[in-house]
Amino acid sequence: MRKIIDLGFGDKGKLLVFLAVLLVVGFSGTSLLAYKAARDGVRTSIEENALPVAAESVYARLQRDLVQPIFVSSMMANDTFLHDWVLDGEQTPGDIQKFLTEVQSRYSTITAFFVSDRSRRYYHQSGILKLVDPDEWRDAWYWRVRAMTEPYELNVDVDLANADALTVFINYRVVDVDGHFLGAAGVGLTVDAMAGMAARLRDEFGTSVYFVDPDGIIVAGMPAGYKEPLPTVNHERALGEVAMKAMEAGGGAFRYHTANGDVLLHVRWLPEVRWFLFVEQAEAASVAGSRQALRLNLGVYTGILMLVLLAATLTVDRFQSRLERAATHDTLTGALNRLAFGAVADHAIKDARRTGSPLSAVMIDADGFKAVNDRFGHPDGDKVLKAIVGAVVSVMRQSDAFCRWGGEEFFFLLPGCDPEAAKAVAEKVRTAAEETTTRDCPVTVTLSAGIATLRDQEDFDALVRRADDALLQAKRAGKNRSVIA
């Protein structure tokens, strides 16, 4: 602060720049720290709460949506008609076709099927599709179901009856009352249904939801920022590496960067379908409120900064003006002081010599002013001095110069006035001062004046001495008068 004070009035700009930088750094730093804290809080909340909760909700929704197909598959596997039809030797394929058609139609599945372990026939609502073969890769699922102990499985596979469309199959084991394996029955759901569910979840939770198989293939849904489903994890957007890392870790919280900013990701393993569930949210959308608050704060701070700088400018200007006036004017009467008057007088003398016009000086003094202070006190004495200055100002022209010379003495220069004209001005001042003090002061005060006109080769000091001598003559002659030197 000492350095600022020592800058001086000419360095006002430096002071304002320093103040502006200080406020900008303070405001901006505070706003950025607040924004960073809010952003980190939102990010942590999303990573630790929002995305895991959304993933669990998606998982619960997935299980709920699979309850009915599993129930339908269970009903098919335990239907006495199916058991009796198999045990009777599968004599009427039309009956099983009708059965499967009714299941598919009633429950709106994409397919309904039964594979007989005795005949190895693959029955479909459209008829017998094929004979399952242990050496055929398409039929590997059947031998897996045949060997497992669980009552059913969910399997994502191509559907031969629907142009190899990717389908979620519920493969349910069919066993008779004695526990003998009769075959596998169930229904199929199109993966598009899963994509529709992902879209609904995206709208509901405000997050991107998609399913990825263990090979990194996106089988349903889509990542953030994409309007069309992707066939595979896109390695160009850095998700490929993160996805593989997430799948190797079995799930968890991750983050990756795109051209539009960071994306927060939560990955969960879905054992029912043997897929990974990816739930992600763009960080920019999450912290949009914080960024809006940052912009608002910066806008408010900019307004405050402008107001502070304006107030500082006005304050400095006012303070500077008051100090400059205090340095050049008498604080009591408002007249110029002797120091400032010297510069004005030098200019007036040079101008008079250049133009050849007369320049007169008048020295005035309040008669008996000490008695006023002694009798009425200094406050009333100050009031008398102000009244005298008011009388002088009422008579002076704009080109005249006037100062308080000291105590109750005043001095003024009258450019263009010869001795007689200067005396006429002095008489007007005397009359005005007497009338003003009579009206506005507790005592009437008269003035004595000495007039001198500038001579050739005469300097200011000599002019003042001659005016002062003339004033002394006026005092000796009885006061309350004007005398020409």
Least confident stretch, 119-133, 251-265, 308-322, 375-389: 308-322
CATH C-level class of 207-286:
alpha beta
What is the pLDDT averaged over residues 285-311? 67
- Sequence-ordered alpha helix ranges (H) in 329-395: 338-355, 369-376, 378-395
Architecture of domain 338-484: 2-Layer Sandwich (3.30)
Summarised one tens digit per residue, pLDDT across range 81-115 is 999 999 999 999 999 999 999 999 988 888 899 99
pLDDT attached to residue 175: 94
pLDDT band at 5 (very low <50, low <70, confident <90, very high): very low
- Sequence-ordered alpha helix ranges (H) in 78-147: 80-87, 93-107, 140-147
Summarised one tens digit per residue, pLDDT across range 63-80 is 676 778 889 999 999 999
Summarised one tens digit per residue, pLDDT across range 231-252 is 444 434 446 677 777 777 777 7
Summarised one tens digit per residue, pLDDT across range 324-377 is 666 677 778 878 888 888 888 888 899 988 988 999 999 999 888 888 877 888
The rounded percent of the chain whose pLDDT value lies above 70 is: 78
pLDDT attached to residue 434: 86
Q: Are 261 and 286 in contact (CB under 8 A)?
A: no
pLDDT attached to residue 324: 65
pLDDT attached to residue 472: 93
Sign of the four-CA dihedral 413, 418, 424, 426: positive
CA distance 38 to 35: 5
Mean pLDDT estimate for the chain: 80
Token pair in block for residue 478: 């009885």
The rounded percent of the chain whose pLDDT value lies above 90 is: 26
pLDDT attached to residue 9: 46
CA distance 346 to 354: 12
What is the pLDDT averaged over residues 158-178? 81
DSSP 11: G
Token pair in block for residue 430: 């005397």
Pairing of strands 181-190, 208-212: unpaired
pLDDT band at 192 (very low <50, low <70, confident <90, very high): low
CATH for the stretch 78-192? 3.30.450.20
pLDDT attached to residue 233: 45
> If you average pLDDT over each of 62-71, 130-139, 190-199, which comes out highest?
130-139
pLDDT attached to residue 437: 84
Collapse the DSSP code of 108 into the 3-class scheme (helix H, G, I; strand E, B; otherwise coil) and give the result.
Answer: coil
Residue that wins the pLDDT comparison between 202 and 247: 247
pLDDT attached to residue 261: 72
What is the number of alpha carbons within 13 Å of residue 73 lying toward its C-beta?
28
* Amino acid symbol at 403: C
CA distance 187 to 171: 7
Collapse the DSSP code of 453 into the 3-class scheme (helix H, G, I; strand E, B; otherwise coil) and give the result.
Answer: strand
Residue that wins the pLDDT comparison between 160 and 75: 75
Summarised one tens digit per residue, pLDDT across range 376-417 is 888 888 888 888 888 888 888 888 888 888 888 989 899 999
pLDDT attached to residue 325: 67
DSSP H helix total and E strand total for the chain? 15, 16
Q: Are 286 and 262 in contact (CB under 8 A)?
A: no
Q: How many CB atoms lie within 10 A of CB 147?
A: 8
CA distance 448 to 452: 14
pLDDT attached to residue 103: 92
